[in-house]
Structure 1
Amino acid sequence: MSNTQEFLDHINTGYTTKGDFITLGAAMLNGETITDAHVKIPLKTLNRHGLIAGATGTGKTKTLQVLAENLSEKGIPVLLMDIKGDLSGLGAASPGHPKIDERHEKIGIPFDAKKFPIEILSLSKQDGVRLKATVSEFGPVLFSRILNVTETQAGIMSIIFKYCDDNKLPLLDLKDLKKVLQYATREGKEELEKDYGRISTASTGSILRKIVELEQQGADLFFGERSFEVNDLCRLDDNGKGLINIIRLTDIQDRPKLFSTFMLSLLAEIYSTFPEQGDSDRPELVIFLDEAHLIFKQASNALMDQIESIVKLIRSKGVGLYFVTQNPTDVPDGVLSQLGLKVQHALRAFTAKDRKAIKLTAENYPISSYYDTKEVLTSLGIGEALVSALDEKGRPTPLASTMLRAPMSRMDVLSPEEISTILKDSSLSEKYNEHIDRESAYEILSEKIEKAEAAEAKEIAKKEREKLKKTTSRSSTKRSSATEKAVVKVLTSATFIRGALGILNKLFK
């Protein structure tokens, strides 16, 4: 009993907080839940980022759901990446269950079923508020890193963007960028080389092929207008709850480049738009990146550097990033080292590689006299996790094997009818789902090329007419000369005949 009391004091002391907080659940010791040994996460440290990891079926998504619900209830907006399609249930109250009541009794927290305000967003053709951005907003450096081009090709991209800026050619979508690249190596080659230097046709061809690859992953739906304003992610409902923005990505798993492109642009836009917060008492926005390995999959070294830089800097804007994945090793070390909250669900030791991963994972957690971390990692049940967080002074809290509370909302998807109702009531649908295709680089250059071709055709026709006129004139001159010769010849012949006849007349007189 004394050991249990010591552990209770150990947890309560380590997780003491003077400010507002979120309760994740209750700590466990020797497989038993210690009621009232609550694991509390201060709102003040939630912009220090975090990780939710664990094998398939261990409860990662439900942990994400619990965090999103509690943040919303505290008036903090949330952005979720719904890759598996099972997060829309946040918009409906849980039907409850005896096992949920039993769990919460052990934890020492009453269960209260409720729904939360949600906004459904979409990157693709799925129903939802359309998320878009223009090519110009990316800029040449970020766009080059997304395409993973060479240094020379990145220089050409900078020239293309500069030319468009100088000549007031809006780069809104991918067809604009492709048109400018084609123009730079054909009709406008002399114009660009005169002011900006030589542009290699081979390099522009390579860039075009990479843009086509991006298009094939559905990026043509993402690039364009109207650009999504990131401040729309930070809304509250009429009751003061933070909006939970859910991006439906169920059809995007086989298109990692589009996903990483979107995420990088979103984080870059948030960083450039949000004001500096410093060490505020609560985050302005918390973003959960489910299936986080998709962000890093196929990412170039340059792109990885960009992601790491944003992760390091964006917390000063009051934004917390939470990566959800199966194994912590899915997240690069440079990013992993920036994560303050770690919720580690069970890992499976089926292979030598799995056992090695478990050993590495255990080393990422504080040493505890109450747990053998490697052993606990393989014995955790569904809805249980090892938790390590930061207290209000930024110090690591004690490691706690935790029974997590259950979601207050539905642990299942909404029906098509329920989703349709939410979309109909959305204040953002009308703003962002209008199709806009205003005049941009594609139309301006197409018109310029048409005028140039028309002028060229006119000039060619003029030259043809002059050539025809000269040819006709020469033919006429030749005919006149031939006629004159014939006349002279005839006249000469007539003279000769008259002369001959004159002689004959004289002879026969």
Structure 2
Amino acid sequence: MVFALFSEEKMLKENYILLGKAGDKEIRLLPNMLNRHGLIAGASGTGKTVTLKVIAESLSQMGVSTFIADVKGDLSGMIQEGDMSAISARLDKLGITDFEVRKFPVHFFDVYRKKGHPIRAIMEEFDSLLLARILELTDAQEGNLQIILKVAQDMNLDIIDLKDLQAMANYVGEHASELSLKYGNVTKQSIGGIQRKLLQLEQQGGTNLFGMPALSIHDLISTEGGLGMMNMLECQELFQHPLLYATFLLWLLNRIYQDLPEVGDVEKPKIVFFFDEAHLLFKDAPKA
């Protein structure tokens, strides 16, 4: 298979994405099928990144926004016009005559606030299972974390960022004896273990992820000049902490489920998400 760039006029008119050709057969992707899960797989150098770029750029031309986790840092070039000399031979081979290079609108995000806009989440939007996973807690520590969150809820206290959770854990630890009567066994050993894990998360830069203002999924859905916005998450540093990377993506998926309505089959999606190294979402995940 030869992965190809598309004939823009024909693609938009007939409403499909041209992925490539096998002989005289075109491999097409239909926008109304993009509410299904898809997998881009292959050995190194087989065209996975190019395939992602073709799909994302084609969707942008259709007015569809995308969210792309850029682990390797090789996708940001979509913000600039390409070089025709590098692809002219391929265009001739595929018989494409109306192709023109163009740049696409891109918003860059970076949890560490170095190479893009900050992207934040509210700590209390992570349920105890997600927090226990990101902190790699034992069963006993997870039970005490659930008590910490419940106590905060009963006291009408918001847990916005890492410092809020640390303060709440400290409060529960100091009042362990009296709280155990109402909420179950609270052990200072487990609370201390949670605090150590929170300190590790803070040292990994976790304080940058949690806080206000929190990301809204609706902020990712926009167009510029009729082109769908490409939202690029800089992940080169974030990916050095795979559990933090995976937990953020799980939180994002949960926000999609909570915030966007179920619409079933549509002509084209409002937004499409591309997750690199998606297997990390399922690593050490509970069977349920």
TM-score w.r.t. the length of structure 1 is: 0.51
Range moving further from structure 2, 56-65 or 224-233: 56-65
Corresponding residue for residue 6 of structure 2: none
Instruction: Tell me which amino acid in the other structure corresponds to 2:207.
Output: D
Contact 1:19 1:43 in 2 (8 A): no
Structure 2: which 5+ residue stretches go unaligned? 1-12
Cross-structure match for 1:202 = 189
- What is the identity, as a one-letter code, of the residue corresponding to 1:253? F
Q: Deviations over 1:52-108 (max 9, x none)?
A: 2222233221221111100100111011111222211111111211x5122122223
Shift of 1:140: 2.2
* Aligned counterparts, 1:11-160, within 5 A: 20-28=15-23, 34=24, 37-97=25-85, 100-110=87-97, 111-160=99-148
1: CA distance, partners of 2:153 / 2:145: 12
Q: Give SS of 1:226's match.
A: coil
Within the candidate set 166, 170, 182, 1:178 is matched to 166
Tell me by how many angstroms 1:194 deviates. 4.2
Residue 27 of structure 1: how far off its partner (Å): 1.4
Which residue is equivalent to 2:267? 281
1:50 counterpart letter in structure 2: G
Aligned to 1:300: 284
Partner of residue 235, structure 1: 222
Aligned residue for 1:216?
203
Instruction: Give the structure with the larger helix fraction.
Output: 1
Q: Does residue 254 in structure 1 map to residue 249 in structure 2?
A: no
C-alpha contact 1:78 1:286 (8 A) present in aligned 2: yes
The 1:166–1:48 alpha-carbon spacing in structure 2 relative to 1, beyond 3 Å, is same
Larger Cα Rg: Structure 1 or Structure 2? Answer: 1
Q: Over the residues paired in the alignment, what is the CA RMSD in angstroms?
A: 2.1
- Aligned equivalent of 1:432: none
Asked if 2 retains the 8 angstrom alpha-carbon contact of 1:25 and 1:107, the reply is: no
Q: Are the equivalent residues in 1 in contact too, given 2:177–2:186 (CA < 8 A)?
A: no
| Count of aligned residue pairs for this structure pair | 275
SS of the residue 1:247 aligns to = strand
Question: What is the TM-score of this pair, normalised by structure 2?
Answer: 0.88
Whole-angstrom CA distance in 1 between matches of 2:90 and 2:115: 36
2:39 counterpart letter in structure 1: L
Runs of 4+ in 1 over 6 A off after TM superposition: none
Structure 1 residues 213, 19: closer, same or farther in 2, change over 3 A? farther
- Show CA shifts across 1:232-265 (max 9, x none): 111111x221100111122223211111121111
Matched, 1:168 2:163: no
Aligned-partner residue type, residue 153 of structure 1: Q
**How has the CA–CA distance of structure 1 residues 294 and 90 changed in structure 2, closer, same or farther, with 3 Å as cutoff?**
same
Unaligned runs of 5+ in 1: 1-17, 29-33, 307-509
Per-residue CA distance 1:108-157 (angstroms, 9 max, x = gap) = 33322111111111111313111001111112233223334344433322
- Secondary structure of 2:240's counterpart equals coil
